[in-house]
Amino acid sequence: MIDFSLFEKKTNIIFKDKKLLEQAFIHRSYINESSGTKLSHNERLEFLGDAVLELVVTDYLYNKYTDRDEGELTAYRSALVNAVIIGEVALSLGMNDYLLLSKGEAKDIGKARSYILANTYEAYVGAVYLDQGYDVARDFIADSLFGKIDEIVKQKLWRDAKSLVQEKSQEYLNITPSYKVISEVGPDHDKHFTVGIFFGVDKIAEGKGHSKQEAEQSAARHALEAKEWLD
pLDDT at position 230 over 90: no
User: Residue 57: inside a domain, yes or no?
Assistant: yes
CA distances from 219 to 65, 84, 177, 199 (A): 29, 14, 11, 12
How many distinct structural domains can be found in the chain? 2
Residue-wise pLDDT tens digits, 153-181: 877 777 778 888 998 999 999 999 999 99
Residue 122 a catalytic site member: yes
User: Residue 45: inside a domain, yes or no?
Assistant: yes
Residue 131 a catalytic site member: no
User: Residue 231: inside a domain, yes or no?
Assistant: no
What domain range includes position 190? 161-226
Of 136, 154, 172, the domain-final residue: 154
Same domain flag for 66 and 112: yes
Q: What is the CATH classification number for the domain harbouring 94?
A: 1.10.1520.10
Q: Which residues are paired to 127 by β-bridges?
A: none
Higher pLDDT, residue 211 or 17: 17
131, 16 Cβ separation under 8 angstroms = yes
Residue 29: HSE in the Cβ half-sphere, 13 Å Cα cutoff: 18
Among residues 22, 46, 105, 122, the one annotated as catalytic is 122
Of 154, 179, 211, the domain-final residue: 154
* AA identity, residue 226: A
Of 154, 188, 208, the domain-final residue: 154
- Provide the pLDDT confidence category of residue 231 given band limits of 50, 70 and 90: low
Q: How far apart are CA 123 and CA 20, in angstroms?
A: 10
Q: Look up the pTM and report it.
A: 0.73
Instruction: Please give the average per-residue pLDDT across 87-113, as a whole number.
Output: 82
**Largest Cα–Cα distance of the chain, in whole Å?**
60
- What phi and psi, each to the nearest 5 degrees, are found at residue 155? -90, 0
Closest CA to 42 of 99, 143, 123: 123
- What phi and psi, each to the nearest 5 degrees, are found at residue 194? -120, 125
Q: What is the CATH classification number for the domain harbouring 215?
A: 3.30.160.20
Same domain flag for 113 and 184: no
Residue 126: its pLDDT value, please? Answer: 98
pLDDT at position 133 over 80: yes
Which spans in the chain are helix H? 5-11, 18-23, 28-33, 43-64, 70-80, 83-92, 103-107, 111-132, 134-145, 149-154, 161-173, 212-226
Higher pLDDT, residue 30 or 111: 30
Strand order of the sheet with strand 202-209?
178-185, 192-199, 202-209
Instruction: Please give the average per-residue pLDDT across 7-21, as a whole number.
Output: 96
Same domain flag for 46 and 117: yes
Closest CA to 111 of 193, 179, 183, 217: 193
Given its phi and psi angles, is residue 222 left (phi above 0), alpha (psi -120 to 50 degrees) or beta?
alpha
Among residues 50, 88, 139, 190, the one annotated as catalytic is 50
> What percent of the chain clears pLDDT 70, i.e. is strictly above it?
93
Same domain flag for 210 and 126: no
Q: How far apart are CA 71 and CA 67, in angstroms?
A: 12
Residue-wise pLDDT tens digits, 171-229: 999 999 999 999 998 877 678 899 999 999 999 999 988 788 889 988 998 999 899 88
pLDDT at position 33 over 90: no
